[in-house]
Amino acid sequence: RGKHDAAVFPLTGHPPMDVDGWRGLYRIAKNWGINHYRFHSWCPPEAAFTAADLEGIYLQAELPFWGGLESDSVAALLRAEGLAMLDAYGNHPSLVMFSHGNEIWSGHERVEANIIALKEHDPRPLYTMGSNNNIGYVPPRPCCDFFVCARTPFEKDTTLTHTRLTHAYVDSRDGGILNTRTPSTQVNFDVPVSRIDIPLISHEIGQYQVFPDYREIDKYTGVLRAWNLEVFRKRLAKAGMADLDLPFHRASGAWSALCYKAEMEAALRTAGMGGFQLLDLQDFPGQGTALVGMLDAFMDSKGIITPEQWRESCDAVVLLMEFPKYCWTSGETLAGTAAVANYGPVPLRGDIAWHLRRADGTVMAQGLWANPIAPAGGLSTIGRFEAALPELRHPEKLRLEIALSGGSITNSYPLWVYPAAPPPAADEVLVSQTLSDQARSVLAAGGKILLFPRGEELGEGAIPGLFPPDFWNYGMFKGISEWAKKPVSPGTLGLLTDPGHPLFGDFPTDFHSNWQWFSIVRGGYAMVLDDLPAGYRPIVQVIDNLERNHKLGLIFECRVGAGKLLVCMAPLDRLVDKIEAVWLYRSILNYMNSAAFAPEQELDPGLLGGVFQGKKCPPRLN
């Protein structure tokens, strides 16, 4: 259970050179369930090895190389460096793994020759030819003791080969599994692991962006200044959303944490998986600014999730619930299996219980496995669970919990249960796809319009739906995609909304994205609302990335003269086979047919018409 380390030390500009400094860092990582460090194309000082010996952290050191190894002279220099590293640090028991570098895309015969020479010199560490060579498209050679990859190189671009849930758009269609497959807790990496006969470790998993907490700028009191964050903060203010920095941070962070949970559990759910290397537990402020951590660049918690909550999915022993979907219909039977990923030193002892609870804690169903067999060293299936879901009058968010007796090891999952219902009737609301002459007449007469614009017809005035937070950072992979003539990621970071808003009376939601939004977000678009008044806020706002800072609306409302308009950029009228979308549609109409539907913001019809014309909206870059 590893973290990536790219030498991020904002106060000093260099790593600690003392044992206590490194012990402090390792203790933070261990508190978050981490037992392994991968040093990305660098080798730490001896103090790091000594501290890891004392703290019990496995280390993967790497030669300082990232690129194509086309030169014999460079290969010779790297071999000499590797031999020196082994002579200096090889006696440290923490030096468990050794890699030739990062994402080496050519010259693999030279890499192999170097690894063979290093193994002959010191056979004690486990060796690999590199971390994610050629983005996973190059198989391991016989000299490799383990394989680090984001995919296995046997089926080209298919999610069957992936060893993590997300990729950049340039590396996989639509970003991979999490953005293309209906969410469940049954995803694993059995297929790629079965194709490799040495231990497989997934490379740089996660990379889910979190919007900045600009208060971090004040922490840069050493050799570095956070000019990047200062620039991004100014752009947010220029976009008229300076007051949303913390809400964006909390909502994108909560969603990122859920995605990391899914990511780590998919690895733990894979029998025979050697491990994973996060990118990252902490932020990386370089390379365009990649704020992908639960910890900031200083290894301080962002307050998004507690270490105890994180360790439910990242620890020596993890309890897992496997079920096919998060959204259910009343009367269905919730069914799945429970498993234990036990990589602790001893077999698991004790009973394991599960409970299905309502929001108020009421138990709807429960079960118990008495002292199940869960030996140390792998994944064990504990048994099946079933619960008949009751007939409900209104949708509810439930919680599926699992716990070891005594409560020392727990885990939980949200579920949404919706009553069976036909598509809703509009009643006094006119439903339209455009601001047609009829729609304008209804508004002029004081009527109500529910608009489902077709985002694909709005050009750059609308951004396609992206379910997970954008990968790594928008600017870097936008440029790479354009260079490679591949699609560019939509670049968004999830949703921000108010669960107490009356529109959600029949659609339980959090203030952030969660699994029940998948079909809605993926089927929809976010409309660019930059031209609307600065203080205008959508009911459901799509959080844009820190570079672009568009004001983006998924659901928003306004008054137009005497009439009232609500716009939903998800095609709920077409998602009739998705129970969650049907109930969001019903909830919207129930709201619009109530006295609560009283939009505060009045918009000029001409201004509103411009928004719907899909005019070009250049990115905010100054």
Model confidence at 70: pLDDT above 80: yes
Model confidence at 530: pLDDT above 80: yes
Task: Say if residues 126 and 90 touch (Cβ distance below 8 Å).
Answer: no
Question: Per the structure block, which two tokens stand in for 75?
Answer: 């290969």
Mean pLDDT, rounded, for 38-67? 98
With CA atoms as reference, report the closest residue to 548 among 617, 456, 486, 448. Answer: 617
Mean pLDDT, rounded, for 30-59? 98
With CA atoms as reference, report the closest residue to 183 among 324, 328, 330. Answer: 324
What integer pLDDT is reported at residue 613 of this predicted model? Answer: 65
Q: What pTM, to 2 d.p., does this model score?
A: 0.96
Confidence class for position 422, pLDDT limits 50, 70, 90: confident
With 0-12 / 13-18 / 19 or more C-beta atoms within 10 angstroms meaning exposed / middle / buried, residue 327 is: buried
Model confidence at 237: pLDDT above 70: yes
What integer pLDDT is reported at residue 609 of this predicted model? Answer: 67
What integer pLDDT is reported at residue 622 of this predicted model? Answer: 35
Confidence class for position 621, pLDDT limits 50, 70, 90: very low
What integer pLDDT is reported at residue 361 of this predicted model? Answer: 95
Task: Say if residues 433 and 449 touch (Cβ distance below 8 Å).
Answer: no
What integer pLDDT is reported at residue 155 of this predicted model? Answer: 80
What integer pLDDT is reported at residue 620 of this predicted model? Answer: 37
Q: Which residues of 470-487 are buried (b: 16+ CB within 10 A; e: fewer)?
A: bbbbbbbbbeebeeeebe
Confidence class for position 110, pLDDT limits 50, 70, 90: very high
Question: Per the structure block, which two tokens stand in for 377?
Answer: 């060293």
For residue 38, give the 3-state DSSP assignment. Answer: strand
Model confidence at 264: pLDDT above 90: yes
With CA atoms as reference, report the closest residue to 566 among 423, 466, 461, 435. Answer: 435
With CA atoms as reference, report the closest residue to 460 among 604, 230, 615. Answer: 615
Confidence class for position 604, pLDDT limits 50, 70, 90: confident
Looking at the chain, the whole-number percentage of residues with pLDDT higher than 70 is 98
What integer pLDDT is reported at residue 518 of this predicted model? Answer: 98
What integer pLDDT is reported at residue 157 of this predicted model? Answer: 76
Task: Say if residues 166 and 178 touch (Cβ distance below 8 Å).
Answer: yes
What integer pLDDT is reported at residue 614 of this predicted model? Answer: 54
For residue 250, give the 3-state DSSP assignment. Answer: helix
Model confidence at 231: pLDDT above 80: yes
Give phi and psi for 486, each to the nearest 5. Answer: -115, 160
What integer pLDDT is reported at residue 260 of this predicted model? Answer: 98
Confidence class for position 494, pLDDT limits 50, 70, 90: very high
Q: Which residues of 592-610 are buried (b: 16+ CB within 10 A; e: fewer)?
A: bbeeebebeeebeeeebee
- Cα–Cα distance for residue pair 70/75, rounded to 1 Å: 8
Confidence class for position 435, pLDDT limits 50, 70, 90: confident
Model confidence at 542: pLDDT above 60: yes
Model confidence at 618: pLDDT above 60: no
pLDDT digit string, tens, across residues 144-154 = 999 999 999 98
Model confidence at 89: pLDDT above 60: yes
For residue 231, give the 3-state DSSP assignment. Answer: helix
